[in-house]
Amino acid sequence: ETLSRLGGGGPLVGFVPASRRDTRRWPAASYAELGRRLRDSFGVRVLVFWGPGELELARSVSDGVGAGAHLAPQTRDLKELSALIGRCRLLATNCNGPKHIAVARGVPTVTIHGSSDPRAWNPPDAAQHPVARLEELHCIGCRLNRCPYGLECMKNLPAERVFHHAA
Predicted confidence at residue 4, as pLDDT, reads: 52
The DSSP annotation for 67-87 comes to TTEEEPPPPSSHHHHHHHHHT
Strand, helix or coil for residue 109? strand
Burial class (CB in 10 A: 0-12, 13-18, 19+), 96: buried
CB 28 within 8 A of CB 19: no
- What is the C-alpha separation between 141 and 21, in angstroms, rounded? 14
pLDDT digits (tens, 9 = 90+) for 54-113: 999 999 999 999 999 999 998 889 999 999 999 999 999 998 889 999 999 999 999 998
- What is the C-alpha separation between 87 and 49, in angstroms, rounded? 13
pTM for this prediction:
0.90
